[in-house]
Amino acid sequence: MHTKEQLLGSLSIFTATVIYGFFSILARVVGYSIPIFYQNWTREAVATLLLILMVVATKTAWKPLSPSATKWILLRTVVGSATFLTYFYCINHMPIGTTYFLFYGGTGVFGYLLGMMLFNEKLTPVKWISIMLALSGLLLIFSLNFTNTPLYLILMALAAGAGSAFWYSIVKKVTTYPVIQLTLLDNLIPIPVYIIISLSIGEQWIIPTFTPVWIASFIYGALFVITGSLVVYGFHRVEAQIGTIIMLAEVPIAIFLAFLFYKETISLTAVIGGILILSAILIPEILMLRANHKKRKNNT
The model's pLDDT over 31-54, given as tens digits with 9 standing for 90+, comes to 778 888 998 899 999 999 999 999
Model pLDDT, residue 45: 94
The model's pLDDT over 200-243, given as tens digits with 9 standing for 90+, comes to 999 999 888 889 889 988 998 899 899 989 999 999 988 888 88
DSSP 24-89: HHHHHHHTTSS-HHHHHHHHHHHHHHHHHHHHHHHT---PPPPHHHHHHHHHHHHHHHHHHHHHHH
For residue 197, give the amino acid letter: I
Model pLDDT, residue 144: 63
Q: Which residues of the chain have pLDDT under 50?
A: none
Domain count, the chain: 1
Model pLDDT, residue 293: 58
**Calpha distance 221→186 (Å, rounded):** 13
Model pLDDT, residue 2: 59
| Selection from 218, 173, 252 nearest residue 30 by Cα | 218
**Calpha distance 131→118 (Å, rounded):** 19
Model pLDDT, residue 232: 92
The whole domain housing 291 covers: 3-299
**Calpha distance 178→249 (Å, rounded):** 26
Q: Dihedral of CA 270/235/26/99: which sign?
A: negative
**Calpha distance 138→101 (Å, rounded):** 6
